[in-house]
Structures are given as C-alpha cells and as structure tokens.
Structure 1
Amino acid sequence: MPTLKEIAAQGDKRQTVVREACTVLDQEVADKSGVTGLAIKGAYKIVQGVKPGFVPEVVDHLLDDFLDALDPLYQEALEQQKKPSVHLVEQKGRMADALLAITDKRAENAQRKAIKKAYEKLRPSAKKHVEAAAPRLGEMLDRHAP
C-alpha cells in the first residue's frame, strides 16, 4: 500500500493539502474560547506576524514529517476497512502524541524566540487541542487519501 506521504504530498496535491491544513488550523484557532482561547489566538497572531505566508511555509515544511507520523494510523484504518477520519478520531491520543513529538523537536530548535516562548507557554495544554482537531484532520485525510 502506498504511504500517506506518497498519496498526499506529491505534485499539485501537496499545495492543496497545505492550503487545506492551514484552513483547518485557522478554524481550530477560531473555535477556541476562554482564557486559553485568548492565549492560543494571541500566540497564533505572533506566528502569523513573523512574515507574510509564514504559516503556510511552516505547514509545508512540517507536512512530510506529519504525514509520516500519521501513516501508521492511516494504514491501520485501511487494514480495518475504516474511513481514515473514523480511525483518527478513535485514536486521537496517539495522533496528538505523534504530531506533538514533531513540533516539540522543532520548537526546541526554533531560532525565533517569540515563537519558542509562545510554544512553551501553550505546550502543557496542547494535547487536548490537537485531539480536538482530529475530526477536521480526519475529514481532510478522507478527501486526499481515501
């Protein structure tokens, strides 16, 4: 079976996936509320303000690692004859751990202090927010890697 990266990160499809992932990110941030939501929205504004197009650039840079991290869950879904979205929601804890391991490593080596500081501030509550994104991420997988 082809890997998730082979399916969703090649040619024109890659840019479509990057754009859609940015839309998912925007939607997830917009949905946040309360004090934590304000902190997340503030941190996201800092990241967006680094330079025009910075968020899509970062998403594109992380895409291969994210797809590699999600591939075991994707392959399990196929083996179990489930839609990837269903399996991703069922395994949202594993999904969040896999994706956060990548961002943790990147944040550790971040050159921009403001980004590193914002990440460190939000990291303690990050898993629940990544888990909350499972339905949207799963729907995106269904569209691009059925």
Structure 2
Amino acid sequence: MPKLPEVLTSDVKKALVVDDCLALIDAEVADKSGISGLAIKAGYAAVKGVKPGFIKQVVSDLLPEFATALDPLYQEAKSGNKAIAAFFSANGGRVADALLAITDSKAKNSKSGVVKGTYDKLRGSAKKNVEAAVPRLGQMIEKHAN
C-alpha cells in the first residue's frame, strides 16, 4: 500500500493537490462567520498580503510534512477498508493534532512578524477550525488517493 506522501506529492499530482488545498483553505475561510470569522478572514488576508503567491508556496512546502503526519491515519483507514473521508471525519481531533504540531513548529520558527503574530492570535481557536475543515480535507485526499 503506497504511503500518503507518495500519493500526494508525486510529480503528477502535487500541483493538483496544492491547488485543491488552496481551494479548501479559501472555502473554509469564506465559511467563517461572526467575530471570530472576521478575525480569521483578516488574519488570512494579512498573511496572503505578505507577498504574492505566499500561501501557495507555504502549502507546497508543507505538503510533504502534512502528508507524512497524516499517513498513519491514512494507513489505518486503508487497512480497515474504510472510506478515507469518513475515517478522517470520525477522527477529526487526531487529524487536527497531527497538522497543528507541524504548523506550531513552523510558526515558532518563522522569520515573518506578520505570520508569527497572526498565528499566535488565531492559535487558540485553531484546533476547532482545523477539525471543521477535516471533512473537506478527507474528501480531497480520497479524491487524489483513488
């Protein structure tokens, strides 16, 4: 059974996966509402404004690490003959923890004050927001893994 990094970062798929990740992020941000939604939208706009293509570059750079972090869950789903999207949704907390461990480390070591400051302000609600994105993430992974 192939590992998730091989599936998502192959020469054939990586650009498509990055584009789908960007669409997923845009959709998740657009879905946010209320005061916290305004903060997320403002933070996302600030980070996007760091430089053109910044978000795309970050997603592309982080994709191998994210895929590696999610591989144990992916393997668990595949070995149990479970749909990836459904399995990820049922394990949203585990998915969020795996992804946030990577972003926490990256934000801590970021040289950009805008990125670090924005991450620090939004980190308190990050797990809830990542868990909300897990169904879309699972569907996206399932799409590219099949």
Interval of TM-score (by shorter of Structure 1 and Structure 2): over 0.9
CA distance in 2, matches of 1:101, 1:86: 22
Q: Is the 8 A contact 2:74 2:84 kept in 1?
A: yes
TM-score when normalising by structure 2:
0.98
Q: Secondary structure of 2:52's partner? A: coil
Q: Which residue of 2 aligns with 1:60?
A: 60
Q: CA deviation at 1:12?
A: 2.7
Q: Secondary structure of 1:50's partner? A: coil
Q: Which residue of 2 aligns with 1:29?
A: 29
Q: Which residue of 1 aligns with 2:42?
A: 42
Q: Residue 103 in 1 paired to residue 119 in 2?
A: no
CA distance in 2, matches of 1:47, 1:70: 25
CA distance in 1, matches of 2:111, 2:38: 24
Q: What one-letter code is carried by the residue in structure 1 that aligns with 2:137?
A: L
Q: Secondary structure of 1:133's partner? A: helix
CA distance in 2, matches of 1:123, 1:51: 22
Q: Is the 8 A contact 2:50 2:114 kept in 1?
A: no
The 5 Å alignment of 1:1-146 reads 1-146=1-146
Q: What one-letter code is carried by the residue in structure 1 that aligns with 2:49?
A: G
TM-score when normalising by structure 1:
0.98
Q: CA deviation at 1:76?
A: 0.5
RMSD value over aligned CA atoms?
0.6
CA distance in 2, matches of 1:11, 1:83: 25
Structure 2 residues without counterparts, runs of 5 or longer:
none
CA distance in 1, matches of 2:123, 2:80: 32
Identity among equivalent positions (%) equals 52
Q: What one-letter code is carried by the residue in structure 1 that aligns with 2:136?
A: R
